Amino acid sequence: MSNSTLYLRVAEDLRLNKGQWDAYESQGNCVVLAGPGSGKTKTLTLKLARMLIEDVQAPRGLACITYNNECARELEERLGALGVEPGGRVFIGTVHSFSLTQIILPYAKVAQMGLPDDFKVASRSEQRTALERAFFQAIGGPENPQSWDLPMNRYRKSIIDRTGREWKERDPQLAQLVETFETELRKVGRIDFDDMPLLAIRSLQQHNWLRNALYAKYPILVVDEYQDLGLALHQMVMALCFNTGMRLFAVGDVDQSIYGFTGASPELLQELSERDDVETIKLRLNYRCGSRIVTAATYALGEDRDYEAARGTGEGTVYFHPQNEAYPTQATFLCSTLLPEIRTRLPHLKLGDIAVLYPAAFIGDHVAEAAQTAGLSILRSDGNALYPRGSRLMRWLEQCAEWCCGGWRRGSPRFGRITSEGQHLFAEVLSTEDARLVFQQRLIDVLWGQKNESELLACWLRNLYDALISDLAKACRTMEDDVEILRAFIGRCSEGDCQAMTISQFAGQGTGLDSLNLTTLHSSKGREFSVVIMFGIDAGRLPRRNLTSRELVESRRLFYVGLTRAKTEVHMMFSARNPSQFISELQRRLDE
């Protein structure tokens, strides 16, 4: 069997699951409602391969919009394992990347988007400066302008059409702030990430020729994690898939919609799934969680979804650990007592198979301090991490460090993968084959000369930045923020709290196999662990106080998402005197 038809053999596994097979066999517009652990990524990857090979004739292709860059990278790797190299026929990336690379950059001038030819994407510091200037012009007063950032962005994403009365009348103050903020960005030749889908959807709605141009290139649009992507993406789908004839294949789960504060709306997925011209398929088998955890998740959600643990997942266990002390003491108990008990009971587990989830990053600080005292390595994925885990540049540098720390000898990670990811990162300036070959040669020269895993990280990062990254990043429109993050981290490694950090320790941030995972509940979405410890699940933390009914429902979904990250064991740690209502309800239902 050739590589290009490998997907046919792998897809035979889907026949054992009716929902997965129906999704694979679907012909027209299709929405797949995929619960936690339902094998949706495998199903999606095989469907992508089939549509690309069977349904779309070259040189046309398909576009796949994902929630974040990690999701995009996983899909690309899985397609590669099926012998399908995405190449130029396939776009896989975020809605921001799709908007920028497929609509704004090619068509900004002819679509009259009002952008200068040399515009760039603003860094966080540039956005803060623009917001400060806009605040003092549009509102004024003694408040911190940055406190307006979230409501401003929520408002600008909630109303796409600014020509109607709603834009000016729903909240005139926020409307004025948004317009002034965007004007300040344009003065310095900048757009921000929220601009990207907004500019794209307005242009699609205004220009029929633009919709037809995208349809000519991509007759199929795939959307993953639909419930998280907001109104602009939904209207983009409406404009492309129900006007031009572009075929839609969307995957999502209303129950895992936890980003309402960013503008996500689960009702949009529900609305889409109820259309007469859309086939809706449900994946109900959970291949991740033990049966007891699936039952607990149903109780946590408060609604029956008819989910069932697949054969072979085991029973699973939910433990409750009421605590009488403050967070620092609870964290000490976690690291010195609870973790050793878990690892004694499950001796095959690596530390990286265990995650501690909590409602807010500051709570994770207590766990991090206790872990350090206990001599445990940690990997944080929250706002207090060494650097933002969402930075594409930093994640790529982790891979480079891993290669320098023996990966070149083991063949893991492969140098070809590192090169490919780097070329993708700097794709805007590596647009020719000659440029990509030069990049590959410079990369091997730099990394081969720094294969000393005990070398201090500061020197390694500076050499890589000066020899390779600096010039490329300057020429990219979207790298300002990543470079700002890298420079700040180099400063910490040179003169701050990370001076003693080695290349090997930095590489461990990427692999995480021997590190305890610390993450907020929000950042845990899309991940899975053998054991999950939910820490600080107290009233006032989850849910927070004085929530609207809508916010309370989303908090319940957040609790559900955390619980369903676990395969084998879930441990609930909470204040005995002030437990979350979700804990009390769950404990009562499980004891019935």
* Binding-site positions for ATP: 34-41
* Dihedral sign from CA coordinates of 54, 60, 66, 68: positive
* Dihedral sign from CA coordinates of 543, 544, 548, 554: negative
Q: Give the tokens for residue 134.
A: 């806009």
Q: Give the tokens for residue 432.
A: 């020719």
Rounded to 5°, angle at Cα 553 from 551 and 558: 90
Q: Are 289 and 576 in contact (CB under 8 A)?
A: no
Long-range contacts of 92-97 (CB under 8 A, 24+ apart): 92/63, 92/64, 92/66, 93/64, 93/65, 93/66, 93/69, 94/65, 94/66, 94/67, 94/68, 94/69, 95/65, 95/196, 95/197, 95/229, 95/230, 95/232, 95/233, 95/236, 96/193, 96/196, 96/197, 97/72
Which residues line the annotated binding site? Answer: 34-41
* CA end-to-end distance (rounded Å), the chain: 54
Encoded amino acid at 452, one letter: N
Q: Give the tokens for residue 475.
A: 């020429």
Place of tokens 């002819």: 110
* Residue 243: CB atoms within 10 Å: 14
Long-range contacts of 415-423 (CB under 8 A, 24+ apart): 415/444, 418/443, 419/443, 421/73, 421/396, 422/396
Residues 6+ apart with CB under 8 A from 485: 387, 388, 391, 393, 394
CA distances, 213 to each of 60, 204, 558 (Å): 11, 10, 39
* 561: helix, strand or coil: helix
* Helix-strand-coil split of the chain, %, nearest 5: 55, 15, 30
* 533: helix, strand or coil: strand
Long-range contacts of 361-369 (CB under 8 A, 24+ apart): 361/520, 363/327, 363/535, 363/536, 363/541, 364/518, 364/519, 364/520, 366/327, 366/328, 366/330, 366/331, 367/331, 367/334, 367/335, 367/518, 367/535, 368/518, 369/328, 369/331
Q: Are 200 and 236 in contact (CB under 8 A)?
A: yes
The dihedrals phi and psi of 383, each to the nearest 5 degrees, come to -65, -15
Among residues 35, 110, 96, which one has the least CA distance to residue 66? 96
* Residue 326: CB atoms within 10 Å: 10
Identify the burial level of 276 via C-beta atoms within 10 angstroms of its C-beta, where 0-12 means exposed, 13-18 middle and 19 or more buried: exposed
Tell me the residue length of the chain: 592
